[in-house]
Amino acid sequence: MFFNEIKSIIENKLSPKIYRIDSEYYGLYYGQINSKKHIKKILFTVDLSLESIHYAIKNKINLIISLNNFNNNPITHFNQLLINKLNLLSRYPLLIFILNSSFIAAEGGVSDTIMESLYLKLDQTLNVKNNRGDSVPIGRICVPNSYTENTKIMTLDNLLKRIKSNLEVEEVLFVGELNSEVKKICIVGEDKLNINYLRKALKNNCDCYISGYFDNQIASYAKESRLNLIGISLYNCNIIALKKMHNILSLEFPHDDFYFFESRDPINIFN
């Protein structure tokens, strides 16, 4: 395939460019390219770790598609870890394409993946405006299927157990009463909870919010607002979502080679 072919599919369908949030990086992140550059081997990864870059070079990858870049801030100085990564990349002429929040918002992306994995029913999207005025469906507002069928209410305890089982996470942080009924759930697949998104969820009458980990200040705000709040490591969700993109593109380009780098969740749980 040519680079412009895969770029077009990603930017217009799988992780739309218009869903980029403000100053977040999106698109070609490393390497020089022309639109007719031939791509034979593609690697998918959640993070640009040293291990994933080693793997890419070892397998002579032409293009890395990563959810996250080196860091979310401009590179103002070169620490040793960054220098090590750039030294590795300089040894082999590959390209890196970054998805960031566009893939959280995309159809089939991270927020969708969490909703589908928990067998929830979509009610509406949670939309935010970026600095270009585009509406970004960053989250999913859902209702429990059992609740819509009027057969059995869902409690916070039921939902927490489903999260641990279906998303295969060892630790779940929460705010709320375990026996409280959950009727309307907002899901935003970001690793760090955004207080502005949480407030929008409250305005949409959500009584539960699922996202990445949160701090004491946000926990106190949720408790005072009578909002059930759930925080989890999203690593497994990111893996599942990226594997779906991997499968779609491998079917679209059956004569090319697709790889997936999967390390363990960097967050460890001490029992």
Tell me what pLDDT residue 30 has.
Answer: 87
Is the pLDDT at 78 greater than 70, yes or no? Answer: no
pLDDT band at 271 (very low <50, low <70, confident <90, very high): low
Rounded Cα distance between 34 and 38, Å, is 9
pLDDT band, residue 85 (cuts 50/70/90): confident
* 255: confidence class by pLDDT, cuts 50, 70, 90: very high
Q: Which residue has the tokens 């979502």?
A: 241
pLDDT in tens, 173-222: 999 999 999 999 999 999 888 899 999 999 999 999 999 999 999 999 99
Polymer length in residues for the chain: 271
The answer to whether domain 3-102+237-260 and domain 107-233 are alike in fold is yes
The full set of domain ranges for the chain reads 3-102+237-260, 107-233
In tens, the pLDDT along 142-170 reads 999 865 445 578 999 999 999 999 999 88
Output the average pLDDT for the chain: 89
User: pLDDT (tens digit, 9 = 90+) per residue, 14-44?
Assistant: 999 999 988 788 999 888 776 667 899 999 9
Q: Which tens digit of pLDDT belongs to each residue from 115-149?
A: 999 999 999 999 999 888 889 999 999 999 865 44
Entry pTM = 0.90
Query: What's the whole-number mean pLDDT along residues 47-59?
Result: 91
Write the secondary structure of the chain as one string of H (helix), E (strand) and C (coil). CEHHHHHHHHHHHHCCHHHCCCCCCCEEEECCCCCCCECCEEEEECCCCHHHHHHHHHCCCCEEEECCCCCCCCCCCCCHHHHHHHHHHCCCCCEEEECCHHHHHCCCCHHHHHHHHCCEEEEEEEEEECCCCCEEEEEEEEEEHHHHCCCCCCEHHHHHHHHHHHCCCCCEEEECCCCCECCCEEEECCCECCHHHHHHHHHCCCCEEEECECCHHHHHHHHHCCCEEEEECCHHHHHHHHHHHHHHHHHHCCCCEEEECCCCCCCCCCC
Higher pLDDT, 62 or 82: 62
| pLDDT for res 1 | 83
Highest CATH level, class, for 3-102+237-260: alpha beta
CB 125 within 8 A of CB 137: yes
> Taking the chain, what is the end-to-end CA distance rounded to the nearest angstrom?
47
Average pLDDT over residues 251-265: 90
Residue 82 has what pLDDT? 74
Domain spanning 107-233, CATH architecture: 3-Layer(aba) Sandwich (3.40)
pLDDT of residue 148: 47
User: Does residue 90 surpass a pLDDT of 90?
Assistant: no
Over pLDDT 90: what percentage of the chain?
A: 69
